[in-house]
Chain A
Amino acid sequence: MMMSESRKHITEYLKKGLRLDGRKLDEFREVSVEYGISKNAEGSARVKIGGTEVLAGVKLNIGTPYSDRPDEGTLMVGVELYPLASPEFESGPPSIDSIELARVVDRGIREAGAIDNKALCIEKGEKIWIVSVDICPINDEGNLFDAAGLAAIAAIMDAKFPKVEKDGTVNYKEKTKNSLPIKKRPIPVTVWRIGNELIVDPINEEEKSADARLTIASLSDGIICALQKGGDATLTVEDVDKMTDLALVKAKELRSKLGGKAK
Chain B
Amino acid sequence: MSYTKRVDGRKSFTELRPITAKAGVIARADGSAYFKIGNTAAYAAVYGPRELHPRNKQIPTRGLLRCDYVMMPFSGMGDRVRPGPNRRAKEISMVTQKALDPVLDLQDYPNAVVDVFICLPETDAGSRCAGICAASIALADAGVPMKDLICAVSTGQVGDKVVVDLDYAEEAYSDGPVSDIPVAMIPSTGELTLLQMDGEISKKDLMEALKLVKESMNEIYEVQKNALKEKYPAGGDDDE
Contacts and interface: CB of A to CB of B under 8 A. Distances in A.
A134 B119 contact: no
B80 A59 contact: yes
Most central of A37, A83, A140, A173 by chain B CB within 10 Å = A83
B47 interface: yes
Closest 7 CB pairs of A and B: A57-B74, A41-B74, A59-B80, A134-B73, A84-B117, A84-B45, A38-B122
Interface of A: 1, 37-42, 44, 51, 53, 55-59, 61, 78, 80, 82-87, 91, 132, 134, 136, 138-141, 170, 172-173
Contact of B72 (A61, A80, A140, A173): A80
Interface of B: 25-29, 39, 41, 43-45, 47, 50, 68, 70, 72-80, 83, 115, 117-119, 121-124
Contacts of A83: 45, 47, 68, 115, 117
A83 B117 CA distance: 7
Contact of A78 (B43, B79, B83): B83
A37 to B, nearest CB: 7
A73 to B, nearest CB: 15
B25 to A, nearest CB: 8
Q: Which of the listed residues A42, A84, A134, A139 has the most CB atoms from chain B within 10 Å of its own CB?
A: A84
Contacts of B79: 59, 61
A152 to B, nearest CB: 12
B66 to A, nearest CB: 9
A134 B28 contact: no
Nearest to B41: A38
A87 B68 contact: no
A161 to B, nearest CB: 14
Nearest to B70: A82
Given A1-B27, A141-B27, 15 more contacts: A38-B121, A51-B27, A53-B26, A57-B73, A57-B74, A59-B73, A59-B79, A59-B80, A80-B73, A83-B68, A84-B29, A84-B118, A87-B29, A138-B119, A139-B29
A261 B75 CA distance: 23
A138 to B, nearest CB: 6
B140 to A, nearest CB: 17
A38 B119 contact: no
Contacts of B27: 1, 51, 139, 141
B54 to A, nearest CB: 12
Nearest to B77: A40
Given A172-B77, A173-B77, A85 B28 contact: yes
A82 B117 contact: yes
A214 to B, nearest CB: 26
Contact of A138 (B26, B68, B75): B26
Contact of B123 (A40, A56, A84): A40
Q: Which among B26, B39, B50, B74 has the highest number of chain A CB atoms within 10 Å?
A: B74
Contacts of A38: 41, 72, 74-75, 121-122
A227 B97 CA distance: 44
A40 B78 CA distance: 7
B76 A40 contact: yes
Contacts of A80: 70, 72-73, 83
